Structure 1
Amino acid sequence: MERGLTLLVAALVAHLSFSNAQVDITRSGCGVTKLCVETPDDCAPDGTDNCLFTSVIAAPVAPSGAMLSIELRGDSSGYIALGLSADASAVTTMLFICASSSATNTFFFSIMTVNSADGVLTPATEPVSDVNGMVTGDVIKCTFNIMSVDAPTLSIILGTGTTNGATIGPFNAALNSGPLVLANPASNVVATAGPNVTTAAAPPTMPNSGGAVQPHAVLLLLSVLSLAVMLRGGSCG
């Protein structure tokens, strides 16, 4: 049974509940046109195995911000969530929640902040648009746009939680990406490289060029000269 939503206008969202949407999420474009973060590594969001996955496309917004186009997919009978944090030491993280109502198995969307110290969730608002979501069994998929973000580097947190009807339960983080440059789709390629990703090897140490003398060669030359002076001095007399 599939239930979902479509919201085509920008709004300050705290909680929305709608129905009837189709959402298709794949790895196509990961590392090239979109930044992808997932657990387990390289899992397939369009498959049947457990996969908590998000992708981000950042488009510049004047004067200095960006609009983030988000895909989010995960396995949960409650909710899945994308967290964004500008600072590892930040007290709160903004959570964008795609959820299934435990009473009706219908999709709803919510935004909250979570306190890193005590895990307390607080309803929040943020301009979003084009929210689409669907629930198929325990698989939740959604897409949405975050209208304006002014931090070029953010940490992505993925996690899940429970719902009681439309009430959001505690957030359980499953992955923290660490700081990522969201406008660079390949900014985490090395960190999340799997068997199908080739990472660049460290550049080899090149021989000295241009006639410059390396420090160890200078020390060796000075030692040789000192020894020669001592030998000449000892032969005088």
Structure 2
Amino acid sequence: MERGLTLLVAALVVYVTQSVQGTGHLSFSNATVDITRSGCGVTKLCVETPDDCAPDGTDNCLFTSVVAAAPVAPNGAMLSIELRGDSSGYIALGLSVDASLGTTMLFICAQNNMTNVFFFRTMTMNNTDAALTGNEELVSDIRGMVNGTVIKCEFNITSVNATRSTGRSSQATTSSILLGTGTTNGNAIGAFNRTLNSGPLDLADPASNVVNATAAPSVTTTTTTAAAPPTMPNSGGAVQPHAVLLLLSVLSLAVMLRGGSCG
């Protein structure tokens, strides 16, 4: 039986402050979450593993999409997130300015492995030792569902600001996207196992991770200089200089021969 569960936080901003072993205080209702590749690279930024997998199919597909609203200083941009994956514990989206240093914001869509009930967490992961701690992130409009090991969820991150650790413009939206899974023990969250690191992407640009098609080979234009036509003797009826000399020589010889015969 499909267990669609929605967290009722439509207009309510949720402060997720529980510790790693804590439990959330969120109510649920049945819902359906439909996630497809429609709009990828055009209206939403998509990241997935394996490449080009179908989040609406039955194959194992860890998929996320991001739609960024126009940034508003000083809070940054609001991101609308779709997340889908296969896990008997949890799937998670991470946002990090540098996945090897500092921290990563983790947004976790999970199922209680004892009751198969959907729940949601936000946590901070130390990028050096992968330790998880509870945090406060502004998240709204959370919707989630569980069907066997398939977990799907949608939520809005109300203010994403890459300046938190870099000092860049408050409207900076460049971050690395991390995707991964983990285990649950009831509502407790286990270690995050990273499956994908996108590298830095502009979350506001749906095509920022689209590989350009191979450019068509450049056409080299070779300029061929036509060979000059060979010069033909007596071309155009003109008498060539060597012909004039030859004619004079013949005339001189004829005069000499005639003069010799008269003597």
* TM-score normalised by structure 1 residue count: 0.79
For residues 34 and 88 of structure 1, the distance between their equivalents in structure 2, rounded to whole angstroms, comes to: 22
Cα 1:110–1:203 change in 2 (3 A) is farther
* Counterpart for residue 61 of structure 2: 51
The Cα of 1:93 is off from its aligned counterpart by 0.8
For residues 59 and 92 of structure 2, the distance between their equivalents in structure 1, rounded to whole angstroms, comes to: 18
1:13-162 matches, within 5 Å, as 13-14=16-17, 15=24, 17-19=26-28, 20-63=30-73, 65-151=76-162, 152-162=173-183
How many residues end up aligned between the 2 structures? Answer: 201
Contact 1:94–1:111 at 8 Å: present in 2 too? yes
The runs of 5 or more residues in structure 1 that have no matched partner are 191-197, 208-237
2:215 maps to a residue whose letter is A
* Counterpart for residue 192 of structure 2: 171
User: Which segment is superposed worse, 156-165 or 119-128?
Assistant: 119-128
For residues 47 and 138 of structure 1, the distance between their equivalents in structure 2, rounded to whole angstroms, comes to: 13
The runs of 5 or more residues in structure 2 that have no matched partner are 18-23, 163-172, 222-263
For residues 203 and 181 of structure 1, the distance between their equivalents in structure 2, rounded to whole angstroms, comes to: 29
For residues 141 and 25 of structure 2, the distance between their equivalents in structure 1, rounded to whole angstroms, comes to: 12
For residues 86 and 27 of structure 2, the distance between their equivalents in structure 1, rounded to whole angstroms, comes to: 20
* TM-score normalised by structure 2 residue count: 0.72
Could you report, residue by residue, the CA deviation over 1:81-133 in whole angstroms, capped at 9, with x for unpaired residues? 00000124423211000000011101000011112222211011101110000
For residues 17 and 172 of structure 1, the distance between their equivalents in structure 2, rounded to whole angstroms, comes to: 26
The Cα of 1:205 is off from its aligned counterpart by 8.0
Contact 1:3–1:136 at 8 Å: present in 2 too? yes
Provide the secondary structure at the position in 2 that maps to 1:170. Answer: coil
Cα 1:164–1:66 change in 2 (3 A) is same
